[in-house]
Amino acid sequence: MTAPTDDLIAQMPFARLLGIELVAVEPERVQARMTVRQDLCTSPAICHGGALMAFADSLGAVATSLNLRGGAGTTTIESKTNFFAPAPVGSVVLGECTPLHRGRRTMVWQTRLTNDAGRLLVLVTQTQMVLEAPAS
C-alpha cells in the first residue's frame, strides 16, 4: 500500500509550482508528466535544464518515500544529469523513475525523461540517503 498520489506532490510545493502530475506510482516505478510552460523555459523557448532536473529529482524523492519503512525519511545526497535533446515550450515531458539499488542506507534511482515520440531527452541518476527514525 502506498500513499495517495495527490499527497505526494502536495507535500512538495515546488513540484506543484512546476506542474508535475503523477501518472503511475508503484514502489518499483514512478511515472509522471510535466508540460513545458513558458515560465519553465530559458531562451530560446525550450525547457530550462533546471526545471528538467527538478522534475526528475521530484520523482526520485517520491520513489524513495514509497520504499521507506515507517518513520524513516530521505534526502538527496547527489545527482547526475546528462542532457541529450531539448523540450520545446508547449510540449509534454514524460518521466519514469526506476531503482538501481534499494539498500538499507541508500537508494539509487534512474529517471528517464522522454518526449511524446519516445525520444530520450534527459537521464538522471540520483542517490538518496535513508534517514532512520530515531529509536523510541
Binding mask 39-78 for its own copies (x = CB under 8 A): xxxxx---xxxxx-xxxxxx--x-------------xxxx
Spatial distance between the Cα atoms of 122 and 134, rounded to a whole number of angstroms? 37
Spatial distance between the Cα atoms of 78 and 128, rounded to a whole number of angstroms? 7
Shortest reach from residue 116's CB to its own copies, in Å:
19
Q: Applying CB under 8 A, does 93 fall inside the site for its own copies? A: no
What sign has the CA pseudo-torsion 36, 41, 47, 50? negative
Give the range of 12-20, 24-32, 90-98 binding its own copies by CB under 8 A: 12-20
Place of cell 505526494: 8
Spatial distance between the Cα atoms of 57 and 74, rounded to a whole number of angstroms? 12
Contacts to its own copies by CB under 8 A: 11-18, 38-43, 47-51, 53-58, 61, 75-84, 86, 100-101, 105-106, 108, 120, 123, 125, 127, 129
